[in-house]
Structure 1
Amino acid sequence: MTNYFNEICEFRQNHPIIHGETIKTDDPLLNNVKEALNSFKSELEKKYGIFNNIHLTVKESKGATNFPHITHVCILPPNQKVSNGIYVAICFDKKGKGAVVGCAESKTNPKGLNIKIRKSKSLHPRIDVDGGGDTTKYNNVFENPKEFYYKLENESDLEKHIKRSLILCFYNLGLIKESEYLQTADYLDSSINESEISYFNIDSIQDDRKKIAIQIYARRGQKKFREKLINAYNKKCAITQCEIIEMLEAAHIYSFKGSDTNKTPNGILLRSDIHTLFDLGLISIDPENYTIYISNKISHDEYYAKLHQTKISLPAEAKDYPSSDSLKHHFENIFDK
């Protein structure tokens, strides 16, 4: 698989993108890179045709009339399309420097992943996977991007990250339960180019910082879901009225099971510590009157004890949220009285 990876990179090194110029898909110049892409696809099909008992398909970039500037190969879970879905994408740098790999979403039909911004006015990634058109800018479509540099010599790290990314895709699509995801997924890896780190064992320090940043980002809730709750609850924690936006998280009342649970009625905006206690069942809300209840296990804490039997701050337009059904499920099944 490393040979095909490197051949795809070498094609773009030898035939760099020139603004305003394209290569027709039937140009004999493409024969070698097409063969490499097809072989790379075949290797991925052998390894990941069935993963975690789920059947997957692999699609490589072809282009209808012109060969794409950003070559890519995508591993698709059931019912997902490159143009409309969540999948593992392997996107090759436009100058042949390597590839970005991770759980990604369609550029034209985003699904609300916790996207990591790789490119902006102040950020310039070493591996650039932005094409010329608005719909072919792929730098900012990944939730857990990791860079793999040319010349790739060992495929084990690539395979490991593909597997982690597939698990993350399954979790985002609701194909596996939260407990299964927590047991099998360990995708919090640094995407830093390790070759740049050469002294003081700073790699592990940097990696821990990366893990913390990603964990905080993930805990805040999926981007669109969180934004809707921030607006609905007027930028305040529903229980403490905390207004520090960086501490506010999108809590699922009925635990996250995929996109169906990522709905505003099933969410409540909570400060990070309250979110943790809510998930653990140490704080809950009576669905009948929106009264806050504190578990006996934390009632000895003076601060949290003061919250007991106070009422939450409801959204300004609380027509159908927070969902009384979701609150009832939490109060009766999750709350540890």
Structure 2
Amino acid sequence: MAWLDGRCTPDNPVVERTELLDFRFEGRRIPLIDNQLGIRKPKDLVAALSMLTTYTSDGQRAPYEDALGPDGFLRYKYQGNPQHYTNRGLREAHTLGVPLIWFFGVQQGLYLPFYPVWIVADEPEQSQVAVALDESQTRLADHTSLTPLERRYSERISRQRLHQPVFRQRVIRAYNTSCAMCRLRHVSLLDAAHIIPDRDDRGLPAVSNGLSLCKIHHAAYDANILGIRPDLTIQVRTDILQEIDGPMLKHGLQEMNGLTLTLPRRRADRPNSEAIEQRYEAFRNAS
């Protein structure tokens, strides 16, 4: 985890599979992930060291959406047979209360690490464990009898700590680390904008419901200063086009009118047409 602290930065928080497989500690090669299995349990350790979620393309539905339980805690499935040594390693981590690392795939061979995480419950009937992403979650009462307020808090933590960062990485990388409107490529100035807002039940954290936008165009999109037509052409609100201000208004907003979005190379990552149409109707109603 200390190595990850130094390796990962806000602008580059991901690690490559080759780095994780070649990790060395005190001169010894000790891979941080298993080459074939989702759970890494080194033979010299009593408990599991890490968990891994493989990257999968997420057309309409994010692959991790089902991982959130009704108590607001995330779930991680066993690796095959419940008595497999890797699953026993997860249960041992729960018994000992030791932290793990969760590597989440955001692209082929590229992972966003979450650490420390804790196993807070073993659920053998469902072949899974419950995972806390924040130490504050481990201090909640029995996760099977949370109050409504505690459940909402736990769910908010899980979404903020996992869903939002994974969504951001997947969307920005799908758009080749550039703004879909102005082509700005400074990653620290880019956001992953939802087409259908995440507060809406239809606002899934899937790449096809996202756009890579610079911060000013993200804010303008959310504020309905500009919209995206079903043909993926940018439309600036009429009153904004008629304003006279400074160079930012002229070049940053007004000159976007009539331009076409830059799209991801993969079709599965491109904006969902129904989501674009719904969001455009909201823009027209606001105009």
Under TM normalisation by the shorter chain, which class is it?
0.3 to 0.5
Query: Which structure exhibits the higher relative contact order, with contacts defined as CA atoms closer than 8 Å and separated by 6 or more residues?
Result: 2
Superposition TM-score, scaled by structure 1 size: 0.41
Q: Which structure would you say has the larger Rg?
A: 1
- Which structure dedicates a bigger proportion of its chain to strand? 2
TM-score, length basis structure 2: 0.47
